[in-house]
Structure 1
Amino acid sequence: MSGNTNWIYNNYEFENRVNNLAWTVSGMYDEDIDSSEKDYSSKDVSLYFGIIAGARRKYLDWDIIKKYIMSRIKKSYDKDILYTLIELVLNSVVEDKVINERPGVEEIRSKAYKDVLVNYSKIHKEDILQTLRYTFILQAMNRHPAVDGLTRRIMKDIKAIDCNDDLMNILKRLDEIYLTYFEFIINSQRENLQGNEQDIKNVNVDFDTFSDFMYEELYMDEEIETIESEINNISNTMLVENLGEMGSGDLEKSQNRVIYVDEVMAQKIYDKVEYYYGKTFLSESEIRKIETKHCRDVHEGCRVHFTDGVLRSECNNAFQLKYVTRQKENNLYKYRDNIKLHKRSINKLKENISRILIEESAIDRIYSDGGTICANRAWRVGRSNNTKVFYKDIRNEKGKYVIDILLDASGSQSRNQFNVAIQAYIIATALTSVGIPNRVMGYLSFLDYTILKRYRDYNDNINSCENIFEYFAAGNNRDGLAIKAASDSLLEREEENKILIILSDGKPNDVKIGKDRSRSLRGEASYKGMVAVKDTALEVRKARKQGILVLGVFTGKEKDLEAEKKIYGGDFIYTKDIERFSDIVAMYLKKIIKN
């Protein structure tokens, strides 16, 4: 992504406009536009890229392309590279078609091309994907920017592809370009090597792997494909509001974001939860007890799923295993990239907490008229008006501490996810080092399920803190139900001081899966807006009444601050810099322990 991106994050309505343009052009309202297909360098460029993303879906067999992408990601291909290659090769096929059908696109393209020309000098030249993308557009404008030898070679091979050829042959050529150039680049970056063209020429590439895509992906079991399709359709509607009609005969989306499915399909979809998130660590009776207690009122019909995640519990989903492994590796890579700074943060936090605990555990001696006699003061009896020759030792009666850290793992945190993982790791490691029991969990929503992913438990050893790097962001968030479910375990702890720290964007937001369309006439509601804010605020106050100290750490947009205040009252902290999360927690713990 090049240029100044701040404007796009502060303009939700414009972002929605870009998405709607893509859906309008494609006619596929249940097809989400991937972030790697967008460009936020300017508003005109963003509009143009949204239109072309929709055109690719309209004029090409997008099902084949999507299955190809999924097949390659399963083999650990980089998604951003795949989308960029598809964009470069296929844009020339769809661009003329969409302009012929919608003449106004030509003017948008003209404005976008001018912005590309201006921004070309600003892009990071080491980002080969942006360089390729911009060079491709500049060449379409009869401009020929100076590029390095590697970019020139890749561009030559892309240009050599016959865009009128069969789609399968085009995808095979894409595969060859990826394996020839980008496999080496990725490996070089991971090993911090400086690759050159001669190294790339010497890479042995196995092109025979392409054939498995045709057999494995195009001839999937029909029932499994139907279920996967329904899950994708529903999941996509969770991520963006106001999509319009879904275009599926089996699903209906009401204006209140309540999605209706029949009972048979609902059960098939629910059966896939463990497939996506790993087996639960609770028994069926324990889950039923939690759901009976908490899934009421606005959470009526919802379910909970406590899991250690796909890497540490039973899961036969090969794609999900690879995906989470890759996310963990990316988070660890970011941590190790600045490991000295992060270790200093751990030690600083550990020393601060230790110092506070030592100070608070010190014994204060006061002199009084009764208690244990102090021999050094016995002479005062009968000789002085100060008769306080006795002393009492006052011990700290505050008791022990236990801490729960609850991380919003919904899609809104995707741009922060490695920072969230790093900061949570710093806090958990420091707390564990000084002997304070702590649990770290992430929460998100999948259909009617609130998923609570446990990264470490209260009494786990310090090595378990590394599980936090499995954190990744996806889906929606039903904060009220997550807080209720997490509070149960905290209240069962024997420590006198129970602390719950919640990191979120202050915007609980979830759909409702309805199994009975007749209930919609009685006002069945989705979980968003004031309904969600009031419910979350209620659960925070209930937790406090039960003796839990609740702190909200807000990482969202300023426009959502009022909602955060309603939820957490005075005990919340707003930070624009997620990297200060551990410092904020340190200050809060100091305040709590001292007071």
Structure 2
Amino acid sequence: MENRIRNLLWTVSGDYAQEMKPDISLYRRSRPLALYDGIKQGALAKFYDKKYLGLYLLKKLYLGADEQLLTKMAQLCIEEAIGDRICLERPGIRNMQREAILDILDQEYLVIPGTGNIPEMLRLMVLRKRLDRLEHKKEAPVLSSMKKYMDLVKEAGNSQDTEALAFAIDRLYNKACEPDFEKEKGSFEQVMAVTMEELSEFDWKDLLDEELYEESLEDYAQQLADQIAGMEDSQVTEEMEEQRQTRHKIKILPPEALEKAHRYVELNFGKTYLKENEEKKINQLMCKGIHGDCSLYFTEGILKNPVMRNYQYEYAVRLKNKNVWLYHDKHRVVKRNVAQLTEMLRKSLILRSENQEILSDRGQILPARLWRIGRSRDALLFKKEQQGDQTDFVVDVLIDASGSQMNRQGHVALQAYMISKALGNVKIPHRVMSYCTFWDYTILHRLREYDDPDSASENIFNYVTSSNNRDGLAIKAAGYGLLGRREEKKIMIILSDGRPYDVIVNRPNAKNPKPYMGQYAVNDTAGEVRRLRNAGVSVLGVFAGEEKDLATEKKIFGKDFAYIRDITDFSRIVGRYLTKQLELEE
């Protein structure tokens, strides 16, 4: 990947002498961002003098500018100056640029900044404006309070040389971040008049870490120039990398933290719909054996039953909107799949319910077959009417909502929605729930209840992902509710990635301190699937993960699992399994 990013730098710049140390932590955060970062570095080197810009930034910092704000303002000006130019020269970059901006918006703007935060509001508006252009949409109107800043960004976009671009960055920083900078600390001319001797004599220890301080000022200026070629907030990248490095560590929680756990779950996943005695009863029944230190939490989600409109609520709104946008983007495919799956189910149900005439050794005599007496062993001389099978069906759809599904969240929601709509169309009662595990709580989020109206399927777009997944306990709890239904034929469809994983935290003095992962977790999950099948429930696993985990999925579900590489095949693959369960002959 480092080689690929360097190749992009060299290809765009046309200068193989350019050097760059790719940020692999940025690649772990977002592949489009890392690739576009290499492209931007090359474009900046091609169109402008990076050394001059790096020196300008160094001198501006010397006079007291805020490095973080200066970097962000410079990034906006440079994006405006070269963003369109590189797309015109190389149209293939347009989609990479779009994906990079979408990732920044998704990862850095979970909450819209207030109008008082001018730098962040300005950054958001510039990114949205560029995204509208890339998607050929009408550009959103500019807030009147932000127009003067947006005009300065536009001026930066018209910069014909490096000095003009540096001057545009300077004006934007002074206007948006430090209105008194020019009067109190110096104009652009005074910034550029700072000498290398003055810079060398300055004590940079407060601005540089120890490693950089050992390097030359030229190296620091180079690093500053590299930073402004990007678009991302480096602090967000660092935080995400730190989380990545620590997520596999098991943390022991102190008792006082556990006392707050229930309140935290309530704030982040919504109020429970069970009464206290009901919750206690089901926990006593389900949380045994290797799940002895766990708890179950039943909710309709933070969007339907919030404690308050907090950060997590706003985050859930954004994720729901992403699910809905994907649905609108693929609505033709979804509509076609729902129609096909509905038709397959309807035909199977009709075949089951129709009366059929069969040959028998009793019933109404058939004169045309009397010649067989004494001449054939076939003694079926009668016909009788066989009543259609009126067996009732009920279906549970269980969705893995752990953090590992985040990149596939919208597609998983669409799969569950298509199943739910088709089942609703043929009047088969069904329930849809998602599950994840936070601390010792396995959260079961009810998206649709068995006898809800068809419109309730829209709630599936409330599906959000987070935390871990204790699949065995979730399947056990969902199966308990399904087995309690009166219908004779019971089916459970589980959409998962085949990776049961719950190791982030553990209770102090826990009875079962072994991390729930690997073969230990797979065996438990497979055991719960077998128990349901032994109880008469037909269980289908729909694989919604990475191909490398297919073998694990097979271990859990055996032959009854579906791997859907292309969503257009969804109705055919899932429909084949469901119609098999609806066949007349058991």
Same fold (TM over 0.5): yes
| Alignment-derived partner of residue 29 in structure 2 | 35
Measured in 2, the distance between the counterparts of 1:558 and 1:133 equals 24
Deviations 1:83-140, CA, capped at 9 Å, x for gaps: x999755999xxxxxxxxxxxxxxxxxxxxxxx99x9764225845748999xxxxxx
Change (3 A) 1:523 1:298: closer
Deviations 1:299-326, CA, capped at 9 Å, x for gaps: 1211111111112224214322222222
Tell me the CA shift for residue 497 of structure 1: 0.9
Letter in 2 for 1:35: R
| Alignment-derived partner of residue 362 in structure 1 | 354
1:195 equivalenced with 2:198 (yes/no): no
Tell me the CA shift for residue 586 of structure 1: 0.8
Measured in 2, the distance between the counterparts of 1:368 and 1:407 equals 47
Task: Pick the aligned partner of 2:425 from 433, 438, 444.
Answer: 433
Tell me the CA shift for residue 200 of structure 1: 4.3
Instruction: Note if contact 1:554-1:573 (Cα within 8 Å) is conserved in structure 2.
Output: yes
Tell me the CA shift for residue 292 of structure 1: 1.4
| Alignment-derived partner of residue 482 in structure 2 | 490
Superposed, 1:370-519 pairs within 5 Å as: 370-371=362-363, 373=364, 377=366, 390-397=382-389, 399-511=391-503, 513-517=505-509
| Alignment-derived partner of residue 175 in structure 1 | 120
Tell me the CA shift for residue 381 of structure 1: 7.4
Instruction: Note if contact 1:179-1:205 (Cα within 8 Å) is conserved in structure 2.
Output: no
1:286 equivalenced with 2:290 (yes/no): no
Letter in 2 for 1:367: L
Tell me the CA shift for residue 287 of structure 1: 1.5
Change (3 A) 1:40 1:477: farther
Change (3 A) 1:582 1:37: same
1:542 equivalenced with 2:535 (yes/no): no
Tell me the CA shift for residue 581 of structure 1: 3.8
Task: Pick the aligned partner of 1:553 from 522, 542, 545.
Answer: 542
Measured in 2, the distance between the counterparts of 1:238 and 1:541 equals 39
Larger Rg: 2
Instruction: Note if contact 1:406-1:440 (Cα within 8 Å) is conserved in structure 2.
Output: yes
Measured in 2, the distance between the counterparts of 1:491 and 1:524 equals 30
SS at structure 2 position matched to 1:282: coil
Measured in 2, the distance between the counterparts of 1:327 and 1:321 equals 10
Measured in 1, the distance between the counterparts of 2:23 and 2:133 equals 39
1:353 equivalenced with 2:329 (yes/no): no
Tell me the CA shift for residue 428 of structure 1: 0.4
Change (3 A) 1:332 1:272: same
Moved more, 318-327 or 35-44: 35-44
Instruction: Note if contact 2:337-2:570 (Cα within 8 Å) is conserved in structure 1.
Output: no
Tell me the CA shift for residue 568 of structure 1: 1.3
| Alignment-derived partner of residue 565 in structure 2 | 576
Instruction: Note if contact 2:132-2:138 (Cα within 8 Å) is conserved in structure 1.
Output: no
| Alignment-derived partner of residue 243 in structure 1 | 246
Change (3 A) 1:405 1:206: farther
Tell me the CA shift for residue 264 of structure 1: 1.5
Moved more, 501-510 or 388-397: 388-397
Task: Pick the aligned partner of 2:551 from 562, 565, 575.
Answer: 562
Superposed, 1:101-112 pairs within 5 Å as: none
Change (3 A) 1:504 1:38: same
Letter in 1 for 2:403: G
SS at structure 2 position matched to 1:455: strand
Deviations 1:188-232, CA, capped at 9 Å, x for gaps: 999x74239xx548686699xx99xxxxxxxxxxxxxxxxxxxxx
Measured in 2, the distance between the counterparts of 1:489 and 1:523 equals 26
| Alignment-derived partner of residue 588 in structure 1 | 577
Instruction: Note if contact 2:98-2:134 (Cα within 8 Å) is conserved in structure 1.
Output: no
Provide the aligned C-alpha RMSD in A.
Answer: 4.5
Tell me the CA shift for residue 39 of structure 1: 3.6
Change (3 A) 1:258 1:300: farther
Measured in 2, the distance between the counterparts of 1:353 and 1:539 equals 27
Q: Structure 2, unaligned stretches of length 5 or more?
A: 6-20, 40-67, 77-85, 105-112, 150-175, 178-238
Instruction: Note if contact 2:438-2:468 (Cα within 8 Å) is conserved in structure 1.
Output: yes
Instruction: Note if contact 1:180-1:205 (Cα within 8 Å) is conserved in structure 2.
Output: no
Deviations 1:144-200, CA, capped at 9 Å, x for gaps: xxxxxxxxxxxxxxxxxxxxxxxx9xx94522423653466678999x74239xx54
Instruction: Note if contact 1:380-1:389 (Cα within 8 Å) is conserved in structure 2.
Output: yes
| Alignment-derived partner of residue 275 in structure 1 | 267
Instruction: Note if contact 2:352-2:389 (Cα within 8 Å) is conserved in structure 1.
Output: no
* Residue identity (%): 35
Superposed, 1:48-67 pairs within 5 Å as: none
Moved more, 460-469 or 336-345: 336-345
